[in-house]
Amino acid sequence: MRIGGLATGMDTESIIRDMMAAQRLPLDKITQKKQYLEWQLDDYRSINRNLFDFSQNTFSNMILSNSFTAKTVSVSAPDDVSIRNISSTSDFSGSLQIHQLAKNATMQSSDRIVSSNADLSKSLKELDIIRTVPSSFTIKAINAEGEFDEGGYEVKLDANSTLKSVLDDINENSDVSAYFDSFTGKIAFTAKNSGKVEEGKEIEFSGNYTFLKVEKDNRVAADKSRGTKGANAEFTFNGLKTERSSNIFQINGFEINLKQATTPLDKDGVPISGEKTITFSSAPDTDKILETVVKFVDDYNKLIEDLNAKIREPKYRDFHPLSTEQKSEMKEKEIELWEEKAMSGTLRNDPIISSMLSKMRTALMGKVEGVDITLSDIGITTSKDYLENGKLVIDEDKLREAISEDPNKIHELFSKSGETDEGKGLARRLREAVEDTQKLISARAGKANSVNDTFALGRNLNDMDKQIERFQSRLEMTESRLWKQFTAMEMAIQRANAQSAQLMGAFGGGM
């Protein structure tokens, strides 16, 4: 604790504080410059995040083919069959007759296993289902590919096994669903996958399974009216009679879901009279493709609008970052308004962003080698209003017409890959320009987890931290020197006052 002015009566602390305030002016300027660079760093990184989002959206929506393969499918009997496009790039049409739906094999217990009100959480021995607990049994069944799984699943048992735990294990891990019916006290088994196996068995038990009171397999159970055999879906597709193990399957990139038989076969496999033929056809989903292109244009326009606003943001040179002392003398609203102007223009006329905007406009100009249409041919042109800085404008009627004619050609215009820029699609060119800019910004401003030494602005900030540290050391030395000087002055004056008092006492005492 320092107390000054005891001899002189001067406010030493205020004098030194004022003198140090003048000494701190260069430090305040460095601190303000550092704060400005930090704002600039944040703005760069914010732009890089926006560029990343735009790049990802462009890749997902304009380069991946899923966006342009959307199709609508018309079916003459939607209650009998539904058809949707999965991956087909071309349209197709035809006819379909459904003779038989695929069925799942089933089995049931031959007799009651436990009473209807039995507690299934009790052990198998407590329920008197078994006397000696077997170690395991195996369930084999038809798999999703319509083939019999010879490996199957082994259900392991121990003294704590309950009927509930056994059924849960079967349901969770095997290709069979098991259900206990409390009314009959029996268990029903159903293959999870439909279809038939050539040998005629789609569910098979082996090992110590007799406590379940089921036959060896569903073929035997069916012969004893305690089960059913699996069946394939049978249908005629464009004149070709064929089968599938499931009612849902794909042909030429379209998914077909059979719902009910329309043309049953007689015992000789001949369609019964009064057959019903279902017709179907596909067409481009114009609305969905249009929505994809419109979203891309909207995203592009939003991006260049934000970037142009940033490089044209006014810079208020009279508004510097506020120091802690300055903030303490201002109201919160005043600080907010001040910093709004101080933070403005951090990227004004930035060469990296300006260059990218120019590259983006260039990327969308001209033709793509091997594609005989341009943006203007599909109704997308550049705005004639120079104040919009190259925003795109869509003629939706013209775009819709182009989509209806050939959506694949539009997709190629945006997504075509090539060795040169001229051979690349517009979206690929645009994405490359954006990604190149992301790298330049990262080299200047780094990423959220980057170390300062790895990018330009970070190195500048490190240099400023060192300058601030050195300057603060000098200020501490200066302040210490001033206190020593004022203290020495106080001591000298105090000695002079003491000597003067002695002299006055001496002269006064001699009179």
Number of compact structural domains in the chain: 3
CA–CA separation, 411 vs 320, rounded Å? 50
Is there a single domain that holds both residue 418 and residue 298?
A: yes
Which residue intervals of 317-452 are DSSP H helices? 324-328, 332-342, 351-363, 396-405, 407-415, 426-445
DSSP 8-state symbol, 129: S
Is there a single domain that holds both residue 428 and residue 321?
A: yes
Per-residue pLDDT for the chain (511 aa), expressed as one digit of tens each? 455 555 555 666 777 676 666 667 777 788 888 888 889 999 999 999 999 999 999 998 899 878 888 889 999 999 999 999 888 878 889 999 999 999 999 999 999 998 878 889 999 888 888 877 778 999 999 999 999 999 999 999 988 899 999 999 999 999 999 999 999 999 999 999 999 997 779 999 999 899 999 999 999 999 999 999 999 999 999 999 999 999 999 998 899 999 999 887 777 666 666 678 999 999 889 999 999 999 999 999 999 999 999 999 999 988 888 887 788 888 989 888 988 898 898 999 999 999 999 999 999 988 999 999 999 999 999 999 888 888 999 999 999 999 998 998 999 999 999 888 889 999 999 999 999 999 999 999 998 888 888 888 888 888 888 887 887 778 778 777 777 777 777 777 777 777 777 777 777 654 4
Does residue 490 fall inside a structural domain? no
Is there a single domain that holds both residue 305 and residue 365?
A: yes
Q: Which residues on adjacent β-strands are paired with residue 179?
A: 188
Burial of 420 (0-12, 13-18, 19+ CB in 10 A): exposed
Is there a single domain that holds both residue 450 and residue 306?
A: yes
Does residue 468 fall inside a structural domain? no
pLDDT for residue 511? 46
Is there a single domain that holds both residue 196 and residue 140?
A: yes
Is there a single domain that holds both residue 172 and residue 261?
A: no
**How many Cβ atoms sit within 10 Å of the Cβ of residue 1?**
2
Does residue 309 fall inside a structural domain? yes
Burial of 384 (0-12, 13-18, 19+ CB in 10 A): exposed
Is there a single domain that holds both residue 378 and residue 454?
A: yes
Burial of 115 (0-12, 13-18, 19+ CB in 10 A): exposed
Is there a single domain that holds both residue 341 and residue 415?
A: yes
Q: Taking the CA of residue 133 as centre, how many other CA atoms within 13 Å lie in the half-sphere pointing to its CB? A: 16
For residue 154, give the CATH number of its domain. Answer: 3.30.70
Does residue 154 fall inside a structural domain? yes
**How many Cβ atoms sit within 10 Å of the Cβ of residue 258?**
24
Domain housing 169: 106-228
Does residue 345 fall inside a structural domain? yes
CA–CA separation, 209 vs 136, rounded Å? 8
Is there a single domain that holds both residue 117 and residue 247?
A: no
Mapped to the 3 state alphabet, what secondary structure does 241-283 carry?
EEEECCCEEEECCEEEEECCCCCCECCCCCECCCCCCEEEEEE
* Plot region of 81 (φ>0 → left; ψ -120 to 50 → alpha; else → beta): beta
Does residue 455 fall inside a structural domain? yes
The last residue of one of the domains, among 181, 200, 228, is 228
Contacts of 158 (CB under 8 A, 6+ apart): 133
Is there a single domain that holds both residue 124 and residue 217?
A: yes
The last residue of one of the domains, among 260, 284, 308, is 284
Does residue 298 fall inside a structural domain? yes
Q: How far is CA 314 from the centre of its chain?
A: 35
pLDDT for residue 321? 87
Is there a single domain that holds both residue 140 and residue 195?
A: yes
Angle at 177 between CA 176 and CA 182, to 5 degrees: 140
Which residue intervals of 63-135 are DSSP H helices? none
Burial of 46 (0-12, 13-18, 19+ CB in 10 A): middle
Does residue 470 fall inside a structural domain? no
Is there a single domain that holds both residue 361 and residue 253?
A: no
Contacts of 418 (CB under 8 A, 6+ apart): 368, 369, 370, 424, 425
pLDDT for residue 11? 64
